[in-house]
Structure 1
Amino acid sequence: MSETNNALHRVARGMGIVLAGTVASMFLTFLSRAIIARHFDRYQYGSFTLTMTVISIAMTVALLGLQSGLPREISRYLKDRREKVPALVSTGLAMALAASMLMVALTVSLAPDLARLLNDRYIDKTLPLAAPALPFMVLTMLLVAVSRGHGRVRENLYYRNVLPPLLFLIILVAGLLIGADFTFVFLAYVLSQALSSLLLVRESCHLGFLPGRPILDWKIARELFLFSLPLMLTGILDYVMGWTDSLMLGYYFDPDTVGLYNGAAPIARLLPLFLNSMGFLYMPIATAFFTGGDIDGLRKLYRTTTRWVFILTFPVFLFVFVFPESAISLFFGSKYTDAATALRILSAGFMFHVMMGLNGMSLIAVGEPSANLTGNLFASMANVALNIVLIPVYGIEGAAVATSVSYVTANLYRTWWLHRKTGIHPFGRNYIKVLAPGLGLAVAITAIGVNDNLLTAIPVTVAGYLVYLAAILALRTVEVEDVELLDALEARTGANLKPLKKLLARFISGG
């Protein structure tokens, strides 16, 4: 089996673990959000969203981009400077933890000003309550990054995806059952992050990922900072693209409008679920291909993962895009269904992001993190400008348009730069044959105007996806790597996949 196919199998196996964790995390987070949205009024849910947005931005700054830079550097050091890995890990942790403490102080001090700016009567109290979670969140992210650099995914599953949202849900429900008020939500959040982080520290020590004593290497610190700085700025701009809409809705309107909009936005953010899961192990493998000079292997890895991700994501997109009211009612209840149009707009933007594949991670793998920064800069400028123009006139629909346009802009730039640097792009002949029937089907069902209720939405979505799968088989989009992947899964699980392999083999593309 070729090195490329071996790499695809490693990504797929890792994706299974990461996907399980991501699904669990999203489910638990959605459940917590739904409880908060239903238990408190829409204004308080909007205030919760604004508080978490500020905390997330502060965390992104405190991480200094190390959550992406550290795995790549560990992967490189393990090849030829293994003895320096403890210093690399210790230095990265020291940098980020120091930054997190500064961000705690800054967040608390700015809370009254943010309350006035965002027209929020709660945030000057909720931000100081939530800010102590920052060092624990940063520590968790970096220890997961360290395990990722060693090619492990289990720490991400247990200590980032599952444990924090599960503990938050348990503590939240227990508090609400005994009559806790709105501010308890944030105390529950801090406690869940602290417990998860401390358990991960214990596990990391057991695995030998942490040095026996702190080691601060200024040369390594400078290298890490210079490489990770564009990643930090890119991460900040990611949040500008993803959360400026909520912040500016708070500025122009109030948290009630933010709450309504966030009956739609979290659902749209479900769409990159498979993309993000695939990406967790993608970057170290893609880096190995690039540093080994195997551009053809990198191209095949990028195109194959992009095609898999679109096929897996399509039924979720079909449901959310065609039946937005049903999707919102299912998760957040009928009092948020006025955000249906915003959800349809957002889902189109996030699906475009999915369609373009792991272009951002590919740019990091080929040593071009600044291209991500530039793309996000253009997209963020467009986002802010469009929000200023559209929100006062169109409200949450204007915010949705601004966010979607920003994601399209960023992905077009990243894909163009990746092609310029390596000659790689996602649009092979088979991928076009995968895209066309799916997008055409979504537009056709929407144009027909099927009733938007759950009793209709679920069977139509299932039937539509089956029609789509039949269409891409008939168009012979199956590749040899797909059948080889089933061979690996069969050997790993003991399941009898011969009928499926035999079926797919009949539809393998001729080229």
Structure 2
Amino acid sequence: MIDRRGLAGVTGAACSALAQFVLVVVVTRAFPASEAGAFFTATALVLMAAGIAKLDAGNGLIYFIARAKTYGYRGISGYIRAALVPCLIVASAAAAVLYPRLGPLAAIVPVMVVGDVLLAAGRGFGAMRPTVLLDGVLVPACQLVLVGAAALAGVAGWLPWAWGVPYLALMVLAGAGLRGRVPRTPYLPGTGRDLWRYTAPRSVAGAIQAVFQRVDIVIVAVLGGPAQAAVYTAATRFKVVGQLANQGLAQAVQARLVAALADGERGRARELYQAATIWLVLLTWPVWLAYAALAPWVLGLFGPSYDSAVPVALVLAGTMMVATACGMVDVVLTAAGHTGTSLLNLVAAVGCTLVLDVALIPDHGALGAVAGWSGGVLVKNLLPLWQLHRRYGLHPFGRHTLTALRGRGRAAAA
């Protein structure tokens, strides 16, 4: 059953999704499509760079911290240092590469990476509140306020600063919150080797995942121009609902999945997976159905030039319904230790997306881009779903689905 940590993660994801949607509305209404598209492309590049530079160290920390509880978290401070240093080096290099194109905005990449790793370490100790409050509420709310101020002033050059500065506050507050949780213990030999032996395949997979989530916007900007990138970003903005809801649930149950699978408690792992899946479906399917039905009206919120993207919205809604019905398949796969398999799955998904994008975007613009993204999403979810069934007999729905539904019904009645 999903406890209040899961609900907190989903709540934070909902706040973030709403704030991001409103932010896109503000930008598209206040600035021409070409300027809005340039801004969306710049932020997509920063998010891709940060996603690559994270090296998936956060998930590695969650894995080791969750397992370390049995011996009093001995040596955990060493794991955190071993995770931070390589990430900071890669993030600084990425910032240097992006600086000629993005200017000072590139400097936010190391800040985002350090903040993400610190929040992940906190989740390893079972602390969801910092992630919910800082990443789910503080950052998107501050971005919305500052971007709104830039829109009122009519100065597009302020948008990158307004979007990037809140991550600095996240990093500082995440570090302060973690400080009291980490016991001061000596550095254990082999700590870095153990961490990166587990994390290395996921580092590559995390980089590919970061590219997969944002590359479509960049490709549309390159092949179709910034105006098409703005249309595509607006029409697909709701996909963040599924991504953040999945992320919120995953953050809440990941440590428990790792522990259950490490202890051989396959039944407990099945219960967590199926309960998370039904929650994901219940929370997101109404959004996708409503978006498909109201797409002409919703897209009109972005401006009169955006209502032509209704077919893009319909493809998005249908694809996300299939994806959420699979549950957090990749999280379960990596919690079981199959990081190499997860990497191959992501490579296949990104390859599918790139091939379809290059083939379809020049002639079909935003619609071609969403078709490419849809193909990649289906590969990314259906392939690990089959692997979990074959190796562990795990399914996204089963008798634990009914248990989770009854628990939801009792909660609603109360």
Match of 2:80 among 79, 85, 89: 89
Distance 1:312 1:166 in 2: 22
Match of 2:312 among 342, 355, 368: 342
* Deviation of 1:50 (Å): 0.9
Give the unaligned 5+ runs of structure 2. none
Distance 1:171 1:336 in 2: 24
Correspondence for 1:472: none
Distance 2:351 2:267 in 1: 35
Indicate if the aligned counterparts of 1:12 and 1:278 stay in contact, CA closer than 8 A: no
Change (3 A) 1:93 1:211: farther
Indicate if the aligned counterparts of 2:17 and 2:240 stay in contact, CA closer than 8 A: no
Helix, strand or coil for the counterpart of 1:323?
helix
Matched, 1:235 2:206: yes
Distance 2:137 2:387 in 1: 35
Indicate if the aligned counterparts of 2:201 and 2:339 stay in contact, CA closer than 8 A: yes
Matched, 1:37 2:28: yes
Matched, 1:57 2:48: yes
Instruction: Kindly tell me the number of residue pairs found equivalent between the two proteins.
Output: 414
* Deviation of 1:244 (Å): 2.6
Change (3 A) 1:311 1:163: closer
Correspondence for 1:405: 375
Give the unaligned 5+ runs of structure 1. 1-7, 112-123, 432-478, 491-495, 498-511
Correspondence for 1:371: 341
Indicate if the aligned counterparts of 1:164 and 1:192 stay in contact, CA closer than 8 A: yes
* Deviation of 1:322 (Å): 2.8
Match of 1:209 among 182, 203, 215: 182
Helix, strand or coil for the counterpart of 1:208?
coil
Deviations 1:83-126 (A, max 9, x none): 21111112212222222212111222xx4xxxxxxxxxxxx3xx
* Deviation of 1:327 (Å): 2.5
Q: Which has the higher contact order (CA 8 A, sep 6+)?
A: 2
- If the length of structure 2 is used for normalisation, what is the TM-score? 0.93
Distance 2:127 2:399 in 1: 34
Moved more, 50-59 or 87-96: 87-96
Correspondence for 1:20: 11
Distance 2:49 2:404 in 1: 42
Indicate if the aligned counterparts of 1:387 and 1:399 stay in contact, CA closer than 8 A: yes
Q: Percent identity, please.
A: 22
Correspondence for 1:188: 162
Change (3 A) 1:186 1:211: farther
Correspondence for 1:303: 274
Correspondence for 1:137: 112
Distance 2:316 2:404 in 1: 33
Change (3 A) 1:186 1:304: same
Distance 1:292 1:42 in 2: 53
Correspondence for 1:395: 365
* Deviation of 1:75 (Å): 0.7
Deviations 1:456-478 (A, max 9, x none): xxxxxxxxxxxxxxxxxxxxxxx
Q: Kindly provide the amino acid, as one letter, of the partner of residue 221 in structure 1.
A: G
Distance 2:326 2:367 in 1: 24
Correspondence for 1:483: 406
Q: Kindly provide the amino acid, as one letter, of the partner of residue 295 in structure 2.
A: P
Match of 1:358 among 328, 338, 348: 328
Helix, strand or coil for the counterpart of 2:75?
helix
Indicate if the aligned counterparts of 1:140 and 1:159 stay in contact, CA closer than 8 A: no
Distance 2:325 2:57 in 1: 27
Indicate if the aligned counterparts of 1:271 and 1:317 stay in contact, CA closer than 8 A: no
- If the length of structure 1 is used for normalisation, what is the TM-score? 0.76
* Deviation of 1:402 (Å): 0.9
Distance 1:15 1:183 in 2: 38
Matched, 1:422 2:399: no
| Cα RMSD after superposing both structures | 2.3
Change (3 A) 1:429 1:321: farther
Change (3 A) 1:217 1:340: farther
Runs of 4+ in 1 over 4 A off after TM superposition: 215-218, 484-487
* Deviation of 1:180 (Å): 5.8
Helix, strand or coil for the counterpart of 1:262?
helix
Indicate if the aligned counterparts of 2:292 and 2:313 stay in contact, CA closer than 8 A: yes
1:58-457 matched pairs, under 5 angstroms: 58-80=49-71, 82-108=73-99, 111=100, 124=101, 127-177=102-152, 179=153, 181-205=155-179, 207-209=180-182, 219-330=190-301, 332-428=302-398
Helix, strand or coil for the counterpart of 2:234?
coil
Correspondence for 1:504: none
Distance 1:130 1:147 in 2: 27
Correspondence for 1:46: 37
* Deviation of 1:481 (Å): 4.5
Moved more, 276-285 or 320-329: 320-329
Q: Kindly provide the amino acid, as one letter, of the partner of residue 361 in structure 1.
A: V
Indicate if the aligned counterparts of 1:271 and 1:347 stay in contact, CA closer than 8 A: no
Larger radius of gyration: 1
* Deviation of 1:384 (Å): 0.7
Helix, strand or coil for the counterpart of 2:238?
helix
Distance 1:81 1:417 in 2: 34
